[in-house]
A and B are shown apart, each in its own frame.
Chain A
Amino acid sequence: EAQVTQNPRYLITVTGKKLTVTCSQNMNHEYMSWYRQDPGLGLRQIYYSMNVEVTDKGDVPEGYKVSRKEKRNFPLILESPSPNQTSLYFCASSPSGRAPYNEQFFGPGTRLTVL
């Protein structure tokens, strides 16, 4: 089944404890992206990757890191999480990051709480 998977789905952690949220897609998509979703703020892009070894900052990259060493995986790293990073996180992929590829496939989401 073609899909985007994220792990973990739920995580409660404490301030400063490094964590990684994994994202994997099995559709051979070039483009992958991370979003955070907060009430009333919609989907805000954190980082995106147009292809392997190519990553760029989105609108809210502070406090996050990413890497794209292989096509299928795009992990999101929080080196020192803070309470303002408590949010719902979505990973998404698409065959390409360029027009006209506007259909993105989203993972199920990771709900992160930082205490």
Chain B
Amino acid sequence: GQSLEQPSEVTAVEGAIVQINCTYQTSGFYGLSWYQQHDGGAPTFLSYNALDGLEETGRFSSFLSRSDSYGYLLLQELQMKDSASYFCAVRDSGNTPLVFGKGTRLSVIA
């Protein structure tokens, strides 16, 4: 089976940078994904890392270290609209479904 750990809450100031960590335990590994969910909305896909290193998409970046079973989502130039929950997700084999973490609620304050 798989297990994922991420902080339950993070607070950051508008314009700052915030990092949301995710550690995982899986029997195999087929990539780490990140999803965003605003209050009252549906989760939406943000990024996917299959290999070690940093993937950048605009203000958002995602990092993976397979040797440490660890990844993070980095949000730069925070905006109020970034206030949302962020979920990491993994699968431990090529044929098994994604398993989601419990989510990190990010609050951006002025």
| Residues on A facing B (Cβ under 8 Å) | 33, 35, 40-45, 48, 58-59, 90, 92, 97-100, 102-109
| Residues on B facing A (Cβ under 8 Å) | 8, 30-31, 33, 41-45, 48, 50, 87, 89, 91, 93-95, 97-103
Once bound together, how far apart are the Cα atoms of A92 and B58, in whole Å? 26
| A40-B8, A99-B91, A100-B31 known; A106+B43 contact, CB < 8 A | yes
Q: Smallest CB–CB gap between A85 and chain B, Å?
A: 19
- Could you count the A-B residue pairs with CB atoms below 8 Å apart for me: how many are there? 58
Once bound together, how far apart are the Cα atoms of A90 and B42, in whole Å? 8
| A42-B87, A99-B91 known; A104+B102 contact, CB < 8 A | no
Once bound together, how far apart are the Cα atoms of A33 and B97, in whole Å? 9
Closest to A6 in B: B42
Interface pair A98/B94, CB less than 8 Å apart: yes
Residues of B within 8 A of A40 (CB): 8, 102
Residues of A within 8 A of B95 (CB): 97-98
| A41-B102, A42-B103 known; A102+B45 contact, CB < 8 A | yes
Closest to A42 in B: B102
